[in-house]
Amino acid sequence: MTRYVRDMRGYGATPPRPLWPDDAKIAVQFVLNYEEGGENCTLHGDAASEAFLSDIPGATQWPNQRHWNMESIYEYGARAGFWRLHRLFTNADIPLTIYGVATALARSPEQVAAMKAANWEIASHGLKWIEHKDMPAEDERASIAEAIRLHTEVTGSRPKGWYTGRCSINTVNLVAEEGGFAYISDTYDDDLPYWRNLQGRDQLIIPYTLEANDMRFAASPGYTTGEQFFEYLKDTFDVLYAEGEGGSAKMMSIGLHCRLIGRPGKTAGLKRFIEYIHNFEGVWTPRRIDIAEHWAAHHPAPSFERPSRMDKDRFVKLYGSIFEHSPWIAERAFDLELGPAHDSATGLHNALCRIFRSASREERHGVLLAHPDLAGKLATAKRLTTESASEQNSAGLDALTDDEHGLFTGLNKVYVEKHGFPFIVAVRDHSKASILTSFQRRVNNDNTSEFEEACKQVERIAEFRLGDLLP
């Protein structure tokens, strides 16, 4: 058995309506990363200096020594940038979510006091602002626990949100395993929150952003002026706001850093954007914890059995009758590379149809033969499968007049004699009259084209049946 763990489906073509407060057309959420004092530095016991997200072009780590320029750039973020942004957002009456590195928060008590006084959310940004990709899982688990402990000690309450940023492949699972977080943001894969079943629990994910993010001032390609940052944020907002006016409201995350956007020339672009969105009605500017609480209340985790997580017996029991009396299709489909994309009616239908289409003509012919005649003897004797009985009854084939019954019986006989299998049609696409019209037309087809048409109808019937069972 092979399972593909990545989720390429998401909400698909029909994302949920978020139902933001006051029927807002967009949720614009600002995150301020507070990392100053938690970055790589030999003073912090690290092996080298920091090299990430600064205004030093092409910076590299300096092993076993302090990097005075790098340290001073980070210090600017704490000493000046933070306070400039604090004034900007408090004057605009927009609350922030702080992604706070625990060791950085511990070294900045006045900034923490200001965050709390402004009623900003202080989410966890890990213990230290360092790479985790090569960290053993047991060490990262211990680091997460220590980040929570220190965060709680410094701020007075444990964090409810988590974002590592420089994470490992284990990070999201380890944070979910801890069990105490209302949301995790170490993903960039959607415009809306969503639930993932991780470590045996439903965990809310609120995706973050690396593009509507001032980190692009320190990356290539990126922004070089505040105006470029403003224009990108404006374009993003305009597209999402228009979608919200069309009934498909979304969330816009904006990532900020004290030492980057806190510089005056860059702040100017952010200030312009805040002034811009104040001209629109229906704009909600929450903290991330507000989004988490709203989503949990209005869009609780869906509860259904996921095909990609079933054992084979359960899988075949539930889906073995989707193709009439042909459980071998489900048995073979179970061994495909199933994943979250197949935990929907459309996804599982694709997997089952792959098996059906790749089967030999003899096997597919056997599936056709497994279908009953329309309004035939099995129906009269009430010996149809539950699915077939429901389908035929939905089209009124259980309530034929004597003349109609005779007409169907005669067509069934002629059709089977000519084509060698029963007439098959997805009756949920039809009325009794249109079924009869189709029957009278198709009975005259050549055998090759009718075989292919019957196979298409079998797939359509399967689509309907799966739609009764899965999202």
| Residues with catalytic function | 371
Q: Label each residue of the chain as H, E or C.
A: CEECCCCCCCCCCCCCCCCCHHHCCEEEEEEEEECCCCECCHHHCCCECCCCCCCCCCCCCCECCCCHHHHHHHHHHHHHHHHHHHHHHHHCCCCCEEEECHHHHHCCHHHHHHHHHCCCEEEECCCCECCCCCCCHHHHHHHHHHHHHHHHHHHCCCCCEECCCCCCCCHHHHHHHHCCCCEECCCCCCCCCEEEEECCEEEEECCCCCCCEHHHHHCCCCCCCHHHHHHHHHHHHHHHHHHHHCCCCEEEEEEEECCCCCCHHHHHHHHHHHHHHCCCCCEECCCHHHHHHHHHHHCCCCCCCCHHHCCHHHHHHHHCCCCCCCHHHHHHHCCCEECHHHCCHHHHHHHHHHHHHHCCHHHHHHHHHHCCCCCCHHHHCCCCCHHHHHHHHHCCCCCCCHHHHHHHHHHHHHHHHHHCCCCCCCHHHCCHHHHHHHHHHHCCCCHHHHHHHHHHHHHHHHHHHHHCCCC
Cα separation, 128 vs 237, whole angstroms: 32
Helix 82-91 and helix 264-277, axial crossing angle in degrees, nearest 10: 20
19 residue type, one letter: L
The number of C-alpha atoms within 13 Å of 416 and in the hemisphere containing its C-beta is 16
Q: Tell me the C-alpha distance between 456 and 430, whole Å.
A: 15
| CB contact at 8 A, 374 and 392 | yes
Side chain identity, residue 35: E
